[in-house]
Structure 1
Amino acid sequence: MATHLDLEEQEQLDQIKHFWNKWGTPITGVAVIVMAGFAAWNGWQMWQQRQAVQASALADVVAVAVESGDQARVAQAFDAVKADYAGTLQAGHAALLVAQSSVKVGKLPEAKSALQWVVDHTKDEGYQATAKLRLAAVLMEEKDLEAAAAVLRGSFPAEFKGLAADRLGDVLQQQGKTSEAITAYQEAWKLLDPQVDYRALVGFKLNALGVATSESGMATLTETNK
């Protein structure tokens, strides 16, 4: 004879069976999706870590080649980085090293190519901004002042806007556009942190153009040059 407890347990089992018959498949499907998502996320993380390690190894090869001055080896290692690890931070760093090495040996077209690659491919705003500033410097060296100005008038993160404005002032000065150069230097003076030593250089440039500066961040024409 079934006890009250037996009947109660049987009723609970029947309820569970009914619930699972109705909702078992959707629940299982959701569980599979969730587990697959976790697996995919872990796989993506592992893949990214592996990419970073391998890219670092190749970037180190680039650095060693740059240090030794072996331009052929520099080009070979950098090509490998670009081919397989273009989206990594290490690739951007390697490209900046390549550009620096190319400038030292007077290979400005190679330097421009490496810097433009950083601008076009790296996702790091700091690397992009650094590449733009250096690209403008190379273009200035080549006397392509219009192209340099165009680069410097592009977008920059807030931390780099003061430096970009200062370099734009240099370009405008070389173009003989003194009033525009003053405006650019004034912008740089305003944007650069007073604690940054480089700001003093901007102040010297303004003073040389007859513009007085103050720690309030203002830069105005002196009476003798109005």
Structure 2
Amino acid sequence: MAAFDLEEQEQISQIKGWWESYGSVVTVVAVVAALASVGWQGWNWYKGKQGAEASALYAVVQQAAGEHNAQKAREAAGTIIEKYSGTPYADLAALLSAKVQSEAGDLKNARVPLAWAAEKANDPALRSLARLRLATVLLDEKAYDEALAQLQAPADADLAARFADLKGDILVAQGKPAEARAAYQAAVDALSAAVKQEASALREIAQAKLDAVGGAQ
């Protein structure tokens, strides 16, 4: 028994010595780890709260869209963009509100959320879609150079044909048939390999536009 007591005392002495050397470091690490855990949980709670509040506001935008209430949609979307811009709902609200404003004939207020989404949307694909829709609004306003500027940035691959087709429309409006032909040809080429019915329909439209400006030269 005495031998065991001596071994235990030796182990205890070793532990005490180790703790005296490294105990403060272990304490700091433990505190940092605990704070990090609390911080992570707090961040997740905050993100969840943000998402829930943004979701509720997006439901308001959807309801307003169904009611064709442009002001209600604009105000709710504006709140989401202002307070919850880091959530996916901000992207969706911007696009939906712009659609409602455009349908109401209010192109000025349609431009605002589209301009935000074109630059700051969280989803790259939605940024491309916002640029496409913003260019369409600018075309309707005869702001041709601004519209073309929105189509210069690389588009999402799935939207490349629509970018090229809209670019052709703008160039036609500017009286530039040769450049419009090149744009329409790019749209036709991009859609040639597509098998979806929608893509086929878009290709026929683009081809008709190409033929209207003189076909391939």
Q: TM-score, normalised by structure 2?
A: 0.88
Q: Equivalents in 2 of 1:21, 1:199: separation in Å?
A: 77
Check conservation: 2:181, 2:214, Cα contact below 8 A: no
TM superposition shift of 1:87: 2.0
Q: Which deviates more, 151-160 or 98-107?
A: 151-160
1:194 corresponds to which residue?
194
Inter-partner Cα distance in structure 2 for 1:188 and 1:44: 45
Matching of residue 108 in structure 1 with residue 112 in structure 2: no
The RMSD of aligned alpha carbons is: 1.9
Partners of 2:185 and 2:33 lie apart in 1 by 56
Q: Aligned residue for 1:56?
A: 55
Give the number of the structure whose residues are more often helix, by fraction: 2
State how 1:47-126 maps to structure 2 within 5 Å.
47-126=46-125
Displacement, 1:209?
Answer: 4.2
Asked if 1:204 corresponds to 2:211, the answer is: no
Give the superposition deviation at 1:115: 0.8
The 2-side partners of 1:201 and 1:169 are apart by 12
Partner of 1:41: 40
Q: Distance in 2 between matches of 1:62 and 1:80?
A: 10
Higher alpha-carbon deviation: 91-100 or 114-123: 114-123
Q: What secondary structure does 2:153 align onto?
A: coil
Q: Which moved more, 1:187-196 or 1:91-100?
A: 187-196
TM-superposed deviation, 1:77: 1.9
Structure 1: runs of 5 or more not aligned: 212-220
Letter in 1 for 2:32: I
Partner Cα distance (2:71, 2:176) in 1: 41
